[in-house]
Amino acid sequence: MEVLEVHGDGTMQVRVRWIIINNADKERFVPDVRFTFYDENQKSVFSKKIEVDKYNVIKSKTGMHFERVIEGVPSSANTVQVRAGNAFEIFF
């Protein structure tokens, strides 16, 4: 997560980059991704679901790189959880 800009209203514009890897033996559709931002007390302060590329597929044993800019994240956020589909959770 990279902070691009802090706005006067207490929100930030952040850039998030990630890779989704398909370890399966067949193609899989690209899942939706949910970003949940937490403050220093591990309290959820902002959440956003993004349809990345829902009609595209990730080929077997490969990965795809993604990048999105998210607006409106409270400046109190210091951790982001990325949840892809229903199976994966990653903390940054």
Neighbours of 36 (CB within 10 A): 18
CATH class, range 2-91: mainly beta
pLDDT score recorded for residue 87:
55
Domain boundaries, the chain: 2-91
Q: Cβ distance 79 to 37 under 8 Å?
A: yes
Is the pLDDT higher at 38 or at 92?
38
Question: Is residue 5 over pLDDT 60?
Answer: yes
Average pLDDT over the chain, rounded to an integer: 88
Entry pTM: 0.78
